Amino acid sequence: MRISSRLREVLRKAKKVCVLTGAGISAESGVPTFRGGGGTAVWKGMPFDQISSAKMVRENLDEVWAWFDYRRDVLKDCKPNLAHKILANWQDKFEDFTLITQNIDNLHKEAGSRKVLELHGNIHRSYCIKCNKRFFMTKDTIPHQPEFCDECGSKVRPDVVLFGEFLPFDVYEKAEQKSRQAELFFIIGTSAVVYPAAGLAELAKLNGAFLVEINPEETPMTEICDESFRAKSSEALSAINQVI
């Protein structure tokens, strides 16, 4: 895979580097994506944006848990892949490196990334719908535990941002600040249709960052990218990693 002299130059000079990842980076670990490859995920006849919604939490939390327990079960044996590992190394290669993810699968942390801005939460966490107390699960806690909060007895829900909900403010604010400052910004394995996450790449570009996309398919972001790799994330990142 050819790395242009332009990108080599930016890689050599850039101190502030941001990476935004989506479901595609975990595809090679065996985690299914929701979009891409011509398909869209459906659970018990419901499209994923219906079952993963704030409305469903209000109307049928048990069904939401069934879907998330199913996803946690799928994830149980998934391991970080080469792309996750290369990004974990990048935290020590660049002076100011920020990893932002839309993924909830915890694989960046498992690969060794110390600080990850998890825009959409984490599938192994939950919180009480009344007092917000937070709970942590291991990969093997299937079905989820606890069902009820030990402080107030209310139901516990996944600590995942669902359709119709706001992103965690402090995490998003940090991601926005780092995106604005970035000299080099990678957008990897995301269909770039979920806002405001996708807007971070636009923000970076508007503020002068060199924008690089890695995705086997074109996305709405391709147009504004300075460079696009039509490749799997592990392949493109390996090639780029060799010239750093």
Residues labelled catalytic: 120
> Which residue type does 88 have?
A
Binding segment (CB under 5 A) for Zn ion, from list 6-14, 51-59, 91-99, 149-157:
149-157
Q: How far apart are CA 23 and CA 9, in angstroms?
A: 29
Is 149 near Zn ion (CB under 5 A)?
Answer: yes
Cis peptide before 220 (omega within 30 of 0): no
Nearer to Zn ion, 157 or 180 (CB): 157
Where would I find the H helices in the chain?
5-13, 24-27, 48-51, 54-59, 61-75, 82-90, 107-110, 169-181, 199-206, 233-241
Query: Are the beta carbons of 64 and 157 closer than 8 angstroms?
Result: yes
Residues that bind ligand NAD (CB under 6 A): 22-28, 31, 33-36, 102-105, 120, 189-191, 194, 214-217, 219, 232-233
Q: Indicate which of Zn ion, ligand NAD, none lies near residue 131 (CB less than 5 to 8 Å, by partner kind).
A: Zn ion
> Least distance in Å: CB of 153 to ligand NAD?
30
Nearer to Zn ion, 154 or 181 (CB): 154
Q: How many CB atoms sit inside 10 A of residue 160's CB? A: 19
Q: Indicate which of Zn ion, ligand NAD, none lies near residue 102 (CB less than 5 to 8 Å, by partner kind).
A: ligand NAD
Residues that bind Zn ion (CB under 5 A): 128, 130-131, 133, 149, 151-152, 154
